[in-house]
Amino acid sequence: MPATPRSIDETFLALPLHALADAALARARALGADHADFRFERVRGASWRLRDARTAGTSDSTDTGYAVRVVHGGAWGFASGVDLTMDAAARVAGQAVAMAKLSAKVIQAAGSAERVELADEPAHPDRTWISSYEINPFDVPDADKAGLLAEWSARLLAAPGVAHTDASLLTVQENKFYADTAGTSTTQQRVRLHPELTAVAVDPATGEFDSMRTLAPPVGRGWEYLTGNHYDWHAELDRIPEHLAEKLRAPSVEPGRYDLVVDPSNLWLTIHESIGHATELDRALGYEAAYAGTSFATFDQLGKLAYGSEVMNVTGDRTAEHGLATIGYDDEGVAAQSWDLIRNGTLVGYQLDRRTAKLTGFERSNGCAYADSPAHVPVQRMANVSLRPAPQGPSTRDLISGVEHGIYVVGDRSWSIDMQRYNFQFTGQRFFRIEHGQLAGQLRDVAYQASTTDFWGSMAAVGGPGTYVLGGAFNCGKAQPGQIAAVSHGCPAALFTDVSILNTTQEAGR
């Protein structure tokens, strides 16, 4: 299917976006709001699921509506609606102001003098932004999507040793219109998709079974990701049955301390849990304590905390091409940026929204406010948090060749981390024994365990740009009521020394 010119969906532009915003913002001003913003969203999500090459379920839903958020009397107010009339939009603005007034009374009664103030942001009038893709998946016939998944599933099923397959495809088109009383007005469209195939093998003699998924990450791309040259699906489908059969025969790991070479297909998740969440400033300040924990990387340690070794450089990035958290402007009208979180192993930055930026003395937010639906208030969410490769760094093969006794970790699986993002345990999909600089067959039942600073402090080398991969997930959870956000994490392959390795089977039996 040929690529089509990218443009904002005409049916979205046909909605009375500007008129609704004008009515809501005018009403908020008239009621004395110090700040007001209007956000109209239409989020369409569709999915396909196949079991053994046969359709097991499909869905296609759209969430449409708008929200008004205000600062009035030093307190937040928020309300949302679905009625597309000017009177209704003005009424929603009035409800938001009424909520702010009530919140101000509650805060005053509690004896708090804290007031909501927002960091300054230049006005961005009449801006349009569209994510980077070639073919919108919603322009592709459903039969083509299901057909490709069935074809790939049948290919896996035909391989020796594969007893069952699961396949899925998630696609999202997100349209947002934003306007505020400072003069910003933005219209945006994002497309993303997540394909995944899993093969299951069963040993007929013992009844033992295991599974293995594709390593292909979810991406901010279109249908071309599955049919073009952006990922070698055929090579991956050919490898999975062979790797899975070897894994079933592999010996269980001997617990101890090993050097690890960690592939980007595994390391992205460790970055997400131990760096991405830990450097969210609302969490570091204690505002996210009730649901998802706080952070060991507290604000008083900015510029001081030795997060890892000197080869560790991590950025927060809302601009990375094809990133799942890539935007033009966030849900507070802040333009997308890229910035340092960790430089040469030291904590030097956080992920901010406008309130936390102002609260802690930053001149400007770095654009990390996001709401996953029109019914939810924007909260501080994760950017694309990525470990930078070394400009002249080694290949994965070179990293492995320098290890005398270790393990090469590939693919993500289960994980566990404490509420402060400090102590963790991660597993993977494939583990290869390294002996004298060579891969020496797979191992099973492997988990690596460490504290965040010990683990990143043990990072002895990072790979070069040729090893860099942008991984990620659709389902990062945060806030109450809960919200879901998609986020990417890029990283190269990396070498870690003297890491504690557990045998998961032995641990489960204790």
- Cα separations (Å) of 432 from 181, 405, 406, 416, 457? 57, 11, 9, 22, 23
Q: At what angle do helices 233-249 and 142-157 cross, to 10 degrees?
A: 40
Give phi and psi for 71, each to the nearest 5: -115, 120
Predicted confidence (pLDDT) at residue 323 exceeds the cutoff of 70: yes
pLDDT given at position 208: 86
Do the beta carbons of residue 319 and residue 336 sit within 8 Å? yes
Do the beta carbons of residue 171 and residue 48 sit within 8 Å? no
Q: What percent of the chain has pLDDT over 90?
A: 93
- Cα separations (Å) of 388 from 344, 421, 466? 11, 21, 12
Give phi and psi for 360, each to the nearest 5: -110, 10
Q: What percent of the chain has pLDDT over 70?
A: 98
Residue entry with tokens 């950025």: 315
- Cα separations (Å) of 238 from 157, 225, 448? 11, 18, 28
Predicted confidence (pLDDT) at residue 2 exceeds the cutoff of 70: no
Residue entry with tokens 């191992």: 443
Helix (H, G, I), strand (E, B) or coil at 93: helix
Protein fold of 10-249: PmbA/TldD fold (3.30.2290)
| pLDDT tens digits, one per residue of 90-107 | 999 999 999 999 999 999
d(CA 400, CA 395): 9
Which of these, 67, 70, 76, lies nearest to 102 by C-alpha position? Answer: 76
pLDDT-based confidence at residue 145 (cuts at 50, 70, 90): very high
Domain ranges of the chain: 10-249, 256-509
pLDDT given at position 205: 80
Predicted confidence (pLDDT) at residue 87 exceeds the cutoff of 90: yes
Residue 477: CB atoms within 10 A of its CB come to 12
pLDDT given at position 204: 83
| pLDDT tens digits, one per residue of 105-140 | 999 998 988 899 999 999 999 999 999 999 999 999
Amino acid at 359: L
pLDDT given at position 433: 98
Residue 470 pairs in a beta bridge with 490
| Omega before residue 465 within 30° of 0, cis | no
pTM: 0.96
Residue 171: CB atoms within 10 A of its CB come to 22
d(CA 306, CA 453): 7
Predicted confidence (pLDDT) at residue 4 exceeds the cutoff of 70: no
Residue 66 pairs in a beta bridge with 40, 81
Predicted confidence (pLDDT) at residue 456 exceeds the cutoff of 70: yes
| pLDDT tens digits, one per residue of 275-315 | 999 999 999 999 888 777 899 999 999 999 999 999 999 99
Strands 384-387 and 405-417: unpaired
d(CA 348, CA 279): 10
pLDDT given at position 295: 97
Helix (H, G, I), strand (E, B) or coil at 486: strand
Residue 112: CB atoms within 10 A of its CB come to 10
Give the mean pLDDT of the chain.
96
d(CA 480, CA 355): 18
What stretch of H or E contains 153? helix 142-157
The mean-pLDDT minimum among 65-69, 165-169, 271-275, 413-417 falls in 413-417
| pLDDT tens digits, one per residue of 16-66 | 999 999 999 999 999 999 999 999 999 999 999 999 999 999 999 999 999
pLDDT-based confidence at residue 198 (cuts at 50, 70, 90): very high
- Burial zone of 87 (CB within 10 Å; 0-12 exposed, 13-18 middle, 19+ buried): exposed
Q: How many CA atoms lie within 13 A of 294 on its CB side?
A: 9
